[in-house]
Structure 1
């Protein structure tokens, strides 16, 4: 199973991120062996928007680029889940 990390340090999994409304952050999803971005599905609620870039940061290491954006005010935990089809 993969983990979300910052773009600068792939060895420490993120436990939470602070994301102000309408601001976005770029994360890396590490350890997911997928051939294409459409093989990965992120599960999230209606207060967060997420997209996976079609090209990975480092495909052989399974590092994918994910952009996350807050779209309404709330305080909650977003469990980043994925699966490979």
Structure 2
């Protein structure tokens, strides 16, 4: 998945990576350097680190919503389910 896929809704400071669903309900995102981050609470509870280090800030300084990326990642959970 890349910035090109989500355009203005892209919430990360990296321009691409791999969204996955692991163990049925853990939404994760792997960035180009190979680090895998949690996109939801279940992934965080499973031990994946927070996505915050690569989360982008908007014009007002607030963090860009992960909603669209998380939604697309959770669809992978349902598809694989």
Higher strand share goes to which structure? 1
Please say whether Structure 1 and Structure 2 have the same fold, judged by a TM-score greater than 0.5.
no
Give the TM-score category using the shorter length.
under 0.3
Higher helix share goes to which structure? 2
TM-score normalised to structure 1 length = 0.26
